[in-house]
Amino acid sequence: MSDLPHRDLHAVALETIDAAAELLGLEPWLAATLRRPERAVTVEIPYLAADGTVRSVRGYRVQHSTARGPAKGGIRFHPDVTIEEVTGLATLMSIKTALLDLPLGGGKGGVTVDPRGMTDAEVEAITRGYARAIAGVIGPDVDVPAPDVNTGTRHMDWIADEYGHLVGSPTPAVVTGKSLAAGGSLGRDTATAAGCRTVTLRAAKQLGLAADARVAIQGFGNAGAHLARMLAADGLRVVAVSDSRGGVHRPDGLDLAAVAEAKRVHGSVTAFPDADVVTNEELLAVDCEILVPAALEGAIAEREATKVRARLVAEAANGPCTPEADLVLAERDVVVLPDVLASAGGVTVSCFEWQQNRDGSTWSEARVAAELDRRMQGAFDALWDYAAAQRLPLRLAAVALGVQRVAEATRQRHAAPTAAPLAS
């Protein structure tokens, strides 16, 4: 049974490119180029299963664009992974890295496998087999993978180790999201939350929200819990949080340390006694100024959007607002910070890890935090100004700005086709 949303991500990506191409008036050859990946690789990965049989799974690596730098994007292990899904995600990554003005392009990878129930030895064999199969098309100057669904630090360590054996020398810059011992970066575990914090505070200031504005966060996992703590430290009042079992709401603010302890001991924030228990859907409608969907894709659909009471929605999760919800929120003058910006802290610190590995340096946690804050502020300011100048909602402005940057780099890289002179 799949736990990934059933969306045609390739179709979404193509619609995104087409909308931006039309808005920007891109030349037909350039728009067509951006609709197709530069490279798509399909591989077979044989491995020794725990029962002693040899089995095989299929893997993919897609590089949508390297016009601005090496491709960048995660590797997911999931039974529903397809070449179309990976291609769509790679396309969207090109836009994301361009919006953040990172010296990277867009890529994505995946293996069609369900790792649940597998032994560690099986998972490691598949990971190393995948690394060997795609080794010829990745590298610090070509394509730099990272963790994604059902992959993490150990998978990246395995890939870096396998790649180093293949090329004959340690090459930590081939992937990011590694353990600190293997060349990972400080600040990576809080990167998504820290990036979202920066742009949320920036947007709140632009909208004139109070310094103690109320915040509701759907999702109390890694990103949501860290973000709640950060925003509370900034003086905002976190009045509601939730996890997969439900949420808690207290109008004058939650004791986040006690909420976290309740979740640690009992497995859910709903065990926190000093607040009203709410459903995840009810949390979206609590009275607050800032709403942060940090959990599920598609969590705010048209019906939920009609009930949102916040003035600002910051998408810490990927795709939490549906297109229909976007229209409703726009009609109600709710500002949406799109996920391509609000959740970009992770890829930004991944870029920092890659840079550290390339020059053999180690940044302090303070430097990582300062560089991330600077990069996120710059991206927000550029997007806010562009949206205002073009009179566009932030999501469409983000797509247009990202595609514009990729298109310009692609245009510089390739001479536009010209018609041959007619024979006399």
Residue 135 — pLDDT band, cuts 50, 70, 90? very high
- Share the mean pLDDT of the chain: 94
- Chain centroid offset of residue 401 CA: 17
Q: What's the whole-number mean pLDDT along residues 393-404?
A: 96
pLDDT recorded at residue 4:
42
Q: Which of 373, 338, 356 is nearest to 191 (CA)?
A: 373
How much is the average pLDDT of 291-306?
93
Q: Are 318 and 296 in contact (CB under 8 A)?
A: no
How far apart (Å, rounded) are the C-alpha atoms in residues 92 and 74? 12
The mean pLDDT of 372-377, rounded to a whole number, is 97
When pLDDT is averaged across residues 333-341 and rounded to a whole number, the result is 96
> What integer is the mean pLDDT of 284-303?
94
> Residue 211: exposed, middle, or buried by beta-carbon count in 10 A (0-12, 13-18, 19+)?
exposed
Cβ-contact 210, 289 below 8 angstroms: yes
Closest CA to 129 of 48, 20, 193: 48
pTM assigned to the model: 0.91
377, two tokens: 């502020």
From the number of C-beta atoms within 10 Å of its C-beta (0-12, 13-18, 19+), residue 82 rates as middle
Residue 421: is its pLDDT beyond 70?
Answer: no
Regarding predicted confidence, which is higher, 1 or 261?
A: 261
User: According to the model, what pLDDT value does residue 5 have?
Assistant: 45
Q: Percent of the chain having pLDDT more than 90?
A: 91
Write the pLDDT tens digit of every residue in 78-102: 999 999 999 999 999 999 999 999 9
Query: Which residues does 381 contact at the CB level (< 8 Å), separation at least 6?
Result: 202
Catalytic residue chosen out of the listed positions 96, 108, 178, 263: 108
- What is the pLDDT, as a whole number, of residue 30? 96
| Residue 424 pLDDT greater than 60, yes or no | no
Mean pLDDT of 114-135: 97
The pLDDT value given to residue 1: 33
pLDDT band at 6 (very low <50, low <70, confident <90, very high): very low
108 counts as catalytic: yes
Span 27-56, average pLDDT:
97
Mean pLDDT along residues 194-209? 98
**Percentage of residues in the chain with pLDDT exceeding 70?**
96
Average pLDDT on 359-372 reads 97
Distance CA 376, CA 370 (A): 10
CA distance 60 to 87: 9
Q: How far is CA 219 from the centre of its chain?
A: 15
Angle between the N-to-C axes of helices 365-390 and 191-206, in degrees from 0 to 180, rounded to the nearest 10: 40
Q: Tell me the average pLDDT across 332-357.
A: 96
Asked whether 90 and 66 are in contact (CB, 8 A), the reply is no
- Rounded CA-CA distance 168/263 in Å is 46
Whether residue 418 is predicted with pLDDT greater than 80 in this model: the reply is: no
User: So what's the pLDDT on residue 298?
Assistant: 87
pLDDT at 420 exceeding the cut of 70? no
Helix (H) or strand (E) holding 41: strand 39-48
Domains of the chain: 9-172 (3.40.50.10860), 191-342 (3.40.50.720)
Where do the H-state alpha helices sit in 40-140? 83-99, 120-134
- Give the pLDDT band (50/70/90) at residue 9: confident
pLDDT for 318: 83
More confident residue, 136 or 422: 136
pLDDT for 127 beyond 50: yes
